[in-house]
Amino acid sequence: MTNTTTPYAIELRDISKRFGAVQANKDICLQVPKGTIHGIIGENGAGKSTLMSIIYGFYEADSGHIEVDGEIVNIRNSQEAIKAGIGMVHQHFMLVENFTVLENVILGAEGGAVLRKGIHDARTELTRLAKEYSLDIDVDMVVEDLPVGLQQRVEILKALYRGARILILDEPTGVLTPQEADHLFRILYSLKEQGVTVLLITHKLREILASTDNVSVMRQGEMVAHRETAQTNKEELAELMVGKKVRLTVNKGDATPGDTLLSAKNVSQFDAQGVKRLKNVSLELRSGEILGIAGVSGNGQSELLNVLSGITEMSEGEIHFAGATINANSPKNASQMRDMKMAHVPEDRHKMGLVTGFEAYEAAVLGYHNSDVYNGKVFMHRKVMVDECKDRMAAWDVRPPNPHLKTANFSGGNQQKIVIAREVEQNPDVLLIGQPTRGVDIGAIENIHEQIVSLRDTGKAILLVSVELDEIMALSDRILVMFDGAVVGELDAKDANERVLGLMMANAYSDDEQGESA
């Protein structure tokens, strides 16, 4: 089967693919040497996933061809890709959750109309594969009971069981804990040792540098560079991805904090099960400063944002804001808080920030839709909303600048700009902003960061919640660290470094190291 005259496991020649007006892939060429780990890196929307979908037969290319082991293959559907020895681990696992591992693995490769024999053979084969590639797993477990890392292993086993010699992994570490990710890379190394060729799609530079032999960079549907991983570095790759020099820090002057605009005293919140999610949090937010809330995801940051913005009521404690005292007995809801000039960019723009089925101009008034500006006696002023949206799109460089496009069809960064523009343009006194750059391209991140800083410079008070340490350190003037629902540390941004923050986030920062008793 293997043609030894070519050193390449897979070669793409001039692959192009167009979706309507969007050229998703343009004249893509790629050569992947056998038995290597090859990284493909690019921003969201650079065309990586489309390219992989073409290789795996989900889409047909408009032009160009694919060679596997030096022979041209015609891949029109997944079945033909599998036949050509290509396996794929999708970003969102393609598993039937209430099936066992075994059932998932044999689906589509059952080996006969009756399952008995197929299941028996698969069990033997899986035990062998598991041993060979150190992919330990209980094949009789139901998939939904497995942790994500193991579910991914099932996907890998599925591909290997079908005889894959080329394995494509699409953003494999997005859902994994660091430990699970480490384990995944160990598995990939052992696959490589067994002669499997691995294609790793990611936008994480660190992973590319740590694990690949070669790397190809995609930008706006084109393959812009091929490098040997050993011959390149983070800066070069980042630059190739974005197409211009990336500033990894934000230019900002010193903060000049003014009056306290919002203060919280011993705020606690219990969830529906009676678990205390927020524990006696006190904080002061002053005008002209950015207060960063650092912490590992799920340590009360979301609850804090929800309580401050009025989405959930607090159980204990009180908040002073705009001359009002808010507590459990006299709560204010999110819309009342908005009226008091507090704006909120929620952490999850899809769930809370936008209605993805709305056109952009509609999404751009959410939360302020009752404003007199947008409303007549009976009907809403459509033209006012559309025109305003157009202006904002121009001001915030939202692409494409089309107020009638459904918000779902904008890229993550542009969706986020729509949300941030909506909140900021209301000229609030206090801005709560959660994960401002989650799922946002590097280029747009820079833009969003600049906007946040310039807002601070006009004297607004900004509370920034982010799980990205880089972001917290780059933007904040003051940093609070949360752990298990409580604030466990506060420090000036100038004194912050990754080590100290990391220790605080793990609640492992001792008083001695802190140099003062807390």
- Give the span between the Cα atoms of 86 and 404, in whole angstroms: 40
We find the least distance from the C-beta atom of residue 220 to another protein, in angstroms, to be 15
Longest distance between any two alpha carbons in the chain, whole Å:
79
Position 350 contacts another protein (CB under 8 A): no
- Sign of the C-alpha dihedral, residues 393, 397, 401, 406? negative
494 Cβ contact partners less than 8 Å away, ≥ 6 residues apart: none
Position 50 contacts another protein (CB under 8 A): yes
Q: Which of 40, 68, 81, 307 binds another protein (CB under 8 A)?
A: 81
Q: Which of 107, 148, 373, 394 binds another protein (CB under 8 A)?
A: 107
- Give the span between the Cα atoms of 386 and 369, in whole angstroms: 13
Q: Which is nearer to another protein, 110 or 318 (CB)?
A: 110
The stretch near another protein (CB under 8 A) out of 92-100, 290-298, 326-334, 411-419 is 92-100
Q: Which of 14, 19, 235, 454 binds another protein (CB under 8 A)?
A: 19
Position 56 contacts another protein (CB under 8 A): yes
Q: Are 43 and 246 in contact (CB under 8 A)?
A: no
Q: Which of 2, 63, 74, 98 binds another protein (CB under 8 A)?
A: 98
Q: Which of 6, 27, 94, 451 binds another protein (CB under 8 A)?
A: 94
Judged by CB under 8 A, the chain residues 117 through 136 that form the site for another protein are 118
Q: Which of 16, 23, 31, 78 binds another protein (CB under 8 A)?
A: 78
Position 507 contacts another protein (CB under 8 A): no
Residue whose tokens read 């591909």: 159
Q: Are 319 and 308 in contact (CB under 8 A)?
A: yes
Q: Which is nearer to another protein, 44 or 375 (CB)?
A: 44
Q: Are 464 and 480 in contact (CB under 8 A)?
A: no
The Cα-based distances of 378 to 367, 372, 374, 375, 381 in angstroms read 18, 11, 11, 7, 10
The stretch near another protein (CB under 8 A) out of 102-110, 287-295, 353-361, 363-371 is 102-110
Judged by CB under 8 A, the chain residues 139 through 198 that form the site for another protein are 158
> Can the peptide bond before residue 400 be classed as cis, meaning omega within 30 degrees of 0?
yes
- Give the span between the Cα atoms of 450 and 164, in whole angstroms: 46
We find the least distance from the C-beta atom of residue 46 to another protein, in angstroms, to be 11
Q: What is the DSSP letter of 430?
A: E
Position 74 contacts another protein (CB under 8 A): no
Position 90 contacts another protein (CB under 8 A): yes
The first and second tokens of residue 204, run together, are 């994480």
We find the least distance from the C-beta atom of residue 29 to another protein, in angstroms, to be 20
470 Cβ contact partners less than 8 Å away, ≥ 6 residues apart: 248
We find the least distance from the C-beta atom of residue 118 to another protein, in angstroms, to be 8
Q: Which of 1, 114, 275, 378 binds another protein (CB under 8 A)?
A: 114
End-to-end CA distance of the chain: 68
Q: Which is nearer to another protein, 49 or 416 (CB)?
A: 49
Tell me the one-letter amino acid at 248.
Answer: L
# chain residues binding another protein, by CB under 8 A: 36
Q: Which is nearer to another protein, 14 or 19 (CB)?
A: 19
Q: What is the DSSP letter of 245?
A: P
Q: Are 37 and 29 in contact (CB under 8 A)?
A: no
Q: Which is nearer to another protein, 99 or 270 (CB)?
A: 99
Nearest to 109 by CA among 125, 93, 130, 132: 125
We find the least distance from the C-beta atom of residue 172 to another protein, in angstroms, to be 15
The stretch near another protein (CB under 8 A) out of 96-104, 346-354, 379-387, 430-438 is 96-104
Instruction: Give the binding site for another protein (CB under 8 A).
Output: 19, 24, 49-50, 53, 56, 58-59, 77-82, 88, 90, 94-99, 103-104, 106-110, 112-116, 118, 158
